[in-house]
Each structure stands twice: as structure tokens, then as C-alpha cells.
Amino acid sequence: MSTRRCYYLPMSTNVTHRGLSNHMRRVRGDGFNSTELRSSLFGKRVPASVGDWLPGGPKSSEGKISVIHGKPDCAPPAKAIPPPKTQAQKIAEEEAPWTMDQIRQMVRYIFEASLLHAQLLNRTLVLPSFIYARACEWDILYFLTVSQVMLDMNHLRKAHPVVTVAEYLQLNGMSPSIEWSNGAWHREMYQNDGKISIHEIPNNEYDPKPTVRVEMLPSHPPGNEDNPFSETLLVALGDRTVMDLEEAAKALKDRVVISGDDQLEAFLREHGWEVLHTYRGALGMDYTKSVVEPIKQVAPRSRLRGMFDDYNHINEEVLILAGETHLNRKPGGLRFVHPEQQAHFASTVLHDMRPTGPVRRLAMKLHERMQKIVGGRQWMGAHMRLVDQGWVMEHSIEGHLSRITQRLSNGRKILQEIYDTKQIQIYEVPNVEPERDIFDRPPPLESDSFYLATDERSRDGLGYIRSNGGVLIEDLLTLEDRQEFGWPIMITDVLAIIEQTVLSHSAYFYAHAMSSVGGAL
């Protein structure tokens, strides 16, 4: 068996460094662009002089690399009034771009999916060394922030082989200074004059209708799809690619007697259909890609395409998935045939993707200050979105805040019931326990203030929020907090991570399903 190597790099000087074994994982990576995110993976033999200072210890496996969502050759940053785009440019954007200035939560969802793809293909993920922050709290036009400010890379690397683009370049004898600031994976510059092989997966190959992308195909033989029952299911399916298991049962109820889900699933497999595992989106939409409400769906076996089956045989050192594979897709960018793979992905999202230590420590301080504001009782929080989408869902700040306070009023009743009964029901997610201090602290009073995360910045708007009981991040942060945290706190997206982490301590939280911010809570 041939062996390859992938690369782990230290993120700080206090990392314990150990040499690598001769057997390493393959590598997969994600690059960002002004319009799109891409991925590429790499794998090469690591010089002993480099391997000596790489962390991680022995890792036995084949090794390659992937970069997911990277744009080919990107133009310099656009001017204030960009010239008309050529037809070639339009085609390139359709096939390549993922925005570097995506909402930060969207970027997180893409990272999560890319980690899954890298794990399935046994490759090492390549992430951009830095990403654009969408805005700065102090009206600075452009800001770059190191990826490690946005994500606890040391913690992530305990479970996943991940490197940054700068590290990939350095490990392959190239200068980190050639990394493109727009996040694009340069098809020529990053391949070291053709010394590193590369394979690109076209965007239209990923999951064109009616294809259903799954992690890997079932191991059992396919059933016979040519039968009257399958025809009935196809009529119920219509022009969709999947339907819920319950809907399939309803379509068959007048044609066959089935008792229970196990018998139904066996019947479907026998007749050429497969049961798929995924998650229900909030309010039936997939803006928030939460992994807390597992559901079962079905699709014809003939339409399934396995990520592992299609791409694990590729031997090139760098593997790139071109184009956007995020919008209108389930968490992970695919559905699961195997429940154990779904559980592993949920564990990655819930336990491996976490904010940095400074973010967590500051969030705990703000949580404690919020507790003092409400007299030691439980406190509630919400998110109110403005900016690019307008007020979600109302058309004015007054209407939106009224919507929020109404939802928090319902939350107060739920917290009172939990406090009285000392019982709490959690979602069926792996290795999660409820925070039982909710049993010890009294629920909020109707007159209590609540924490509100928002991108509203007008003086009148903030004043209105405060006058109606809202506590804002600016009300809790001190000058000493800012000095201790450092310059990244000026970046709006970093501040948003802090606010998300603060809200994770709330006893009850509300956000609209059309806002991705709530997906991390």
C-alpha cells in the first residue's frame, strides 16, 4: 500500500511538538474568495527538518490534501465603480466564487461541511490563513483577521488534521507571502511550478438534480426500483430530490400494510429506495444549519451519489471542490446513509468547533455581569438582525422588538415551568448534558432586562432598545476588557462571535429562523 503524508503545524509556541510517522492522512482545504469559498487538499512527503517540529504524533493513514471552495484566478479588489464584466468573467464567477465577506456564521457552516468531506476522504483540510471581516466597529473600510482569531484551531486540531494556506505553502517550499488576500486557491502559484498534482471537481458535478449527495453509498445491494410501489413513491416525490419518511409512509398506506419504521425502512430498501439521515431546519428552512433535530428522508437508490465512492480514488495531492456548495443544502452539504457518520458529524459541530480561549473568557465575564443586572436570576437573550436583509422579520425596529419581547415572554413561562418541575428535556444529540444550574437560579421576572445582540448602530435605534429593557454589548464591555482582548474586538464579526458565546450562557434565547446567527446557539 502506498503511503502519503499530511501536515500539522503549531499554532502557538506552547504546543508540544512531536515528529510525524511515515503514514499520514490525506489533506483537504478550504479557501475563500470575494464571491465564493473553495476547497483543496494536499499531501506530500514532509522533510525531516520540518516534520521534527510538527505537532500531532503518529497518525497512520494515507495522506493527501483538499481545498474546498477556492476561486481560480481572481481579479484585484474591485474599484468603487467596477467596469462591466466580460462573459468569461461571469462564467468564472458562476463556477468558482464563494464570498470572502460571507456572514461569519455562513463561513462556519462551510468549515463544518469541509471538515466532514476531509474526514470522509481521509485528507487534511486547508483553511485560509485569514478572512475578511465584513465590517469594523470604527468605520475602517477593510479589515483582515487571522483565522485563528475566529476559531480555536488548537482545539480543532486535537481531532482533525487541519492546516492553513500559509502553512501549506511553507511546507511545500513556497513563500507564505504569496497567499492571495481574497482567499482564492491559485491553480498555478500554489502548485509549486507544477510539482504538486491537483484535481478539480467541477461544481456542476457535485449534486445536480435529481442527484442526492450522500457521504457514502449503502453496503447492501440495491433493491429493485422497477415496481408499482416505487412508481407510487415517485409520484409523491414529484420534482423534489427527497421526501420525509413520514410522507413516504403516507403515500404507501393504501397499498401495503406496514407496522413501524423498521418494517417500513426494510420495505423501502427492498423496492429500490434508501432511508437518509439529516436534520430539520428551523421553520422548515436551512438558513440555520443546526444539528439538533435529526430526521429521516427517503430517495431512490439510483439517484444517490457517495462522496467517498466518487472521490476517494483520486490520487492527486490537491483536491479542489469548485464553486458554492452551501446554499439550500443540509448541514454538511450532504445527507447521511449511515447514522454513525451523522453522529460523528454532529459531535464535530458541537464539540470541536469552538471559539478561542480569549473569547470564552470574555463571554463568561459578560455573562456574570448580566447575572448581576438581573439580580442573580436566569437571564434571557435574543438576536435582532438589520443590515443587508433589513429587519427580520418586521419592517421597523418597533415591530421587531415587540416580536422579540413577545417571544421572550413565552420563554419566561417555559423557564418557570422547568424551575418548578425540575425537569428538562434536551434534543437527541451526542454527548450533551443540560446545564442544571437552571434548577437553582430563579427564572426571570417580567420586569427583568434582557440581552440583545444586534447590528443596529444608530443612536436612536440603540436608545429605543435600551428604553425597552434591552442590554447591549456596549453596556457590558469595559475599556479594560477591550485592552485585554486586543485589536480583534474592533472587528464586527469577532464581536459577533463574542456575543454568540455570551448568548450561549442565556437560560432562554430567541432568534428568527431566517438569521443564521442563531444556528450556533
What are the boundaries of each domain within the chain?
Answer: 30-197+315-323, 212-306, 357-520
**Fold of the 212-306 domain:** Arc Repressor Mutant, subunit A (1.10.10)
More confident of the two residues 373 and 76:
373
- CA dist 429 and 301 (Å) reads 27
Q: Report the pLDDT value the prediction gives residue 297, as an integer from 0 to 100.
A: 98
Q: Do the beta carbons of residue 491 and residue 137 sit within 8 Å?
A: yes
- Average pLDDT, integer, range 158-182: 92
Residue 330, judged by CB atoms within 10 A of its CB (0-12, 13-18, 19+), counts as buried
Tell me which of 260-274, 379-393, 469-483 is least confident. 379-393
Q: Do the beta carbons of residue 14 and residue 170 sit within 8 Å?
A: no
Indicate whether 333 pLDDT > 90.
yes
Residue for grid cell 482569531: 149
Instruction: Give the gyration radius of the chain's Cα atoms.
Output: 24
Q: Report the pLDDT value the prediction gives residue 514, as an integer from 0 to 100.
A: 64
Q: Report the pLDDT value the prediction gives residue 405, as an integer from 0 to 100.
A: 95
- Average pLDDT, integer, range 279-293: 81
Peptide bond into 393 cis (omega under 30): yes
Q: Do the beta carbons of residue 438 and residue 418 sit within 8 Å?
A: yes
Strands (E), 256-317: 273-279, 294-300, 304-306
The listed range with the strongest mean pLDDT (13-22, 105-114, 229-238, 258-267) is: 229-238
Q: Residue 131 — very low, low, confident or very high, per pLDDT cuts 50/70/90?
A: low
Q: Residue 48 — very low, low, confident or very high, per pLDDT cuts 50/70/90?
A: very low
3-state secondary structure of 130: strand
Q: Residue 298 — very low, low, confident or very high, per pLDDT cuts 50/70/90?
A: very high
- Average pLDDT, integer, range 359-381: 97
Number of C-alpha atoms within 13 angstroms, CB side, residue 66? 32
Indicate the pTM of the whole model: 0.79
Q: Which CATH number fits domain 357-520: 3.40.50, 2.60.120, 1.10.10, 3.30.70?
A: 3.40.50
More confident of the two residues 448 and 283:
448
HEC secondary structure over 65-76: EEEEECCCCCCC
Q: Residue 330 — very low, low, confident or very high, per pLDDT cuts 50/70/90?
A: very high
Q: Residue 82 — very low, low, confident or very high, per pLDDT cuts 50/70/90?
A: low
pLDDT tens, residue by residue, 209-251: 999 999 999 999 999 999 999 999 999 999 999 999 999 999 9
Q: Report the pLDDT value the prediction gives residue 425, as an integer from 0 to 100.
A: 83
Q: How far is CA 470 from CA 154, 408, 454, 466, in A?
A: 35, 12, 10, 5
Q: Report the pLDDT value the prediction gives residue 384, as an integer from 0 to 100.
A: 87
pLDDT tens, residue by residue, 186-197: 888 999 999 999
Q: Residue 83 — very low, low, confident or very high, per pLDDT cuts 50/70/90?
A: low
pLDDT tens, residue by residue, 57-80: 333 334 566 544 443 333 333 444
